[in-house]
Structure 1
Amino acid sequence: MKGRIKMNKRLFLLFIFAVLALLFVFQESQRNRVVKVFTLENLLVGQAHTEGEYSILVDEQGRVLDMMARRVYVNDEFISADNRRYKVIRVEGNRAYCRQIGIEQLSFEEKVEKVMPAQAGGSQVIGVYYSHDDESYVPTQGTESIPGRGGILQVGNTFANRLRGLGLTVIEDQTSHAPHDDSAYRRSRRTAMNLLQKGAAAIFDVHRDGVPDPTFYRRTINGQDVTMIRMVVGRENQNMGSNLDFAKRLKAAADARYPGLIRGIFIGAGSYNQDLSPRAMLVEVGTHTNTMAEAERGVTLFADIVPPVLGVAARPAAAQTPSTAADWKGVLFVILALVIGGGAFLLISSGGWDKAVARLKEFTSIEWVNLIGWRRKKEEENAQPKPREDKREFQLNEERADWQKD
């Protein structure tokens, strides 16, 4: 009996120990778990960055530093708009607690001398693509997601056209990589590789964020409302150092020309295909609650600072050649005007429609006959042998030639 009681006590203590161990493991997993940004439903239907779930990054005193609709891990870092650098030290719920680890000394003037020359002896080719092509802007489009036709495509196209206007060659690839999930980056990898194979010196993967508050990304620059731009660098690729330096130079140039344009630089877990190039950048243009017009204005300003960072002097786009559609329309207009004017003159000078038609027929028939006759005459002349000069004329010609020699 006593042995059974002792065995039961041991089993009870073992049970309590197991429960405490499970509670400890659960608590630690909750402390260090990924911030809840994407629900299982979102992953299944491809609605990431669209449901208003987002991470709040705070300092150790709980003051809000940043917000973003993405997964946040311990050891992620970010550089804020004022160039303070933070590191995530723990994650609780949707809050990521950060510790300041330094201040970045960014200066565009100092960086100009260190700008890496564009590839291929001054290549001016830029690649633009979209891993999440469904991302849209609610105030403009009425929804945050339109698979294959999201407003982000128009915003990226505005970015590409602005770069073209500055004299750069842009290869824009609007291939869809749906559905919207983390695997989209694996599907878009081939697109990024194709752009680099076509000679792109830098590639930009264009996105927008999913923070609900539109004022979080809105700024007034040069008297107009624009969205701020966030750059994202993956810290799990061999080009992390080069890509981060690229992002810093872009921010320094933007701070010098358009202060307040850059929301910050997030250095997060993942690769984002940035292992393919030292100048591969993921950019987020505003959030889903901003208007598309604000996003287009913001990305236009961002495009202005790309050429100098790449060491390429911005220049006006080459002038159109005379063979444009507009010029051909002008030529056709002139021809049409001549035909109408000639017809009117013929009608008036003939004194009637019937006489005008008769005169036109007579003119065309005469001209046609003359043309045929002229051609036949030329053919007959060419067919006949040339008459031989007689001997006397030949001698005169020789004497004339001798006299001319004297």
Structure 2
Amino acid sequence: LFRTAMEVYKGDRYLSGDNKLYEVFKVNKNENTAYAKYLQTEKLPDVNIEEILQAMAVAENTGEKRVAIYSTHSDESYLPSDGAASINGHGGIYKVDAALQKALEAKGVTVKVDRTLYLPHDAMAYSRSRTGAVKLLKDFKPDLLLDVHRDAVPLEEYIRKIAGKNATGVRIVLGRNNPNLKANQQLAYRIKAIADKTYPNMIKDIFFGKGDFNQDLTPNSLLLEFGTYSHTRERAEVSASLIADVLTKALYGSDEQKQVGTVTKAQRPLPGQNKAAGTGIWVLIGVVVVSAVAFMFLSTGGREMYHKFSKATRKEFASYLGKFRRKKGDEP
């Protein structure tokens, strides 16, 4: 049901495409296996697209609309299009940034893209990109701050046909250890609710990971993952162009949604307060992708299930789980 190149920790949460919420209560790193419990089915905001469009029309001339974009993992690229999964410099992810920028600007939004390199792709990358995020917030004062990424799992996790176009699913990642989580989550849920009505299956899920991903800096801050390394970059660019429509509706379709970005006092991540609850044990099975761990949720359906996967020790991004079946003529 779910795989990610991010390492999964006890207390992490996952909202599936059909809005079921799970929480990890145990992680076995030696076996690359984690366990999660079903908590509840979340109720997303009740959005009315017609009313949103009317609100946007009324607010069209009420002030400048601003969105800022940066990419913490500057090297991230798309193997089929860029020739490598990782580029020591401006990776293919910046072309996804550009596609998102162009689509937002076409909708009347002023966009600032930070092209600063935050290499290398290591545990300190978010500390380095924090400087850029703070500068964007202070100098540009955006309504929304986006950190754009791509995932590193097999392409069947993300490949989509959206609005008749070859595209990718989009994952929203929230830092569960930050004081702005409630506001970040409200925005993420609103975005998913609108996307579910306008572009079904675009938002594949929402992952609540350990840490803050610099989202403690402002209430309107999100990390978006556009697909994965093993499909074409053009698919990610299509999704970036389409999600611009969703973002503008979410931000400017209601007076209550717009919050001008400001830098809040930097705080250390707070300890997780989540407690496992609910019924129905779910199992998360992972494979190693470089130094990251990819985890997958697998339902037991009320019965004990046990699946073994060989440990991957191949070169970075070389491992592939299973054979992906595509329709004839459907390019990666």
Matched, 1:273 2:209: no
1:303 corresponds to which letter in structure 2? A
Contact map agreement 1:124 1:312 (CA 8 A) in 2: no
Within-5 A mapping of 1:327-406: none
Does structure 2 conserve the Cα–Cα contact (< 8 Å) formed by 1:123 and 1:201?
A: no
Could you tell me whether the CA contact under 8 Å between 1:217 and 1:287 is conserved in 2?
Answer: yes
| Aligned mates of 1:123, 1:270 — CA distance in 2 | 32
Give the number of the structure whose residues are more often strand, by fraction. 2
Cα distance change of structure 1 residues 95 and 262 upon mapping to structure 2, 3 Å threshold: same
The reply on whether 1:290 has 2:226 as its aligned counterpart is: no
Which residue does 1:74 correspond to in 2? 10
Higher relative contact order (CA 8 A, sep 6+): 2
Partner Cα separation in structure 1 for residue 112 and residue 80 of structure 2: 29
What is the DSSP-based 3-state SS (H/G/I as helix, E as strand, rest coil) of the residue aligned with 1:215? helix
Deviation, structure 1 residue 95: 2.2
Partner Cα separation in structure 1 for residue 240 and residue 246 of structure 2: 10
Matched with 1:90 is: 26
Write the distance in 2 (CA, Å) between the matches of 1:106 and 1:304: 19
How many angstroms does 1:147 deviate by? 1.9
Return the alpha-carbon distance in structure 2 between the equivalents of residues 97 and 195 of structure 1.
38
Deviations 1:69-110 (A, max 9, x none): 011001100101110000001112222211110111114426
Gaps of 5+ in 2: 255-332
Deviation at 1:214, TM superposition (A): 1.2
**Displacement, 1:312?**
5.1
Post-superposition, which runs of at least 4 consecutive aligned residues in structure 1 deviate over 4 A?
110-113
Count of aligned positions: 245
Please state how far the C-alpha of 1:123 moved relative to its aligned partner: 4.1
How far apart are the structure 2 equivalents of 1:177 and 1:310? 28
How far is the alpha carbon of 1:190 from its aligned partner? 1.2
Q: Deviations over 1:227-273 (max 9, x none)?
A: 10000000111101100111111111110100000110000100110
Q: Which structure has the larger Rg over C-alpha atoms?
A: 1
Q: 1:202: which partner in 2?
A: 144
Is the aligned partner of 1:127 residue 2:127?
Answer: no
Give the % identical residues: 40
* 1:190 aligned partner: 131
SS in 2 for 1:264: strand
After superposition, residues 243-262 of structure 1 pair within 5 angstroms as 243-262=184-203
- Quote the Cα distance in structure 1 between the aligned partners of 2:33 and 2:103: 37
Check the 8 A contact 1:122/1:312 in 2, yes or no. no
Shift of 1:299: 1.2
Any idea what the Cα deviations from partners look like across 1:337-378, whole Å, max 9, x if unmatched? Answer: xxxxxxxxxxxxxxxxxxxxxxxxxxxxxxxxxxxxxxxxxx
Where does 1:81-160 land on structure 2 (aligned, <5 Å)? 81-92=17-28, 93-109=31-47, 122-160=63-101
Structure 1 residues 251 and 285 mapped into 2: Cα distance closer, same or farther (>3 Å)?
same
SS in 2 for 1:272: coil
Q: Where in structure 1 are there 5+ consecutive unaligned residues?
A: 1-64, 314-406
Note if contact 1:108-1:256 (Cα within 8 Å) is conserved in structure 2.
Answer: no
The root-mean-square deviation of aligned C-alpha atoms, in Å, is: 2.1
After the TM superposition, which of the residue ranges 132-141 and 89-98 deviates more from structure 2?
Answer: 89-98
1:99-152 C-alpha deviation (Å, 9 max, x unpaired): 110111114426978x9xx9xx74401000010110000111221100222100
Q: CA deviation at 1:302?
A: 1.0
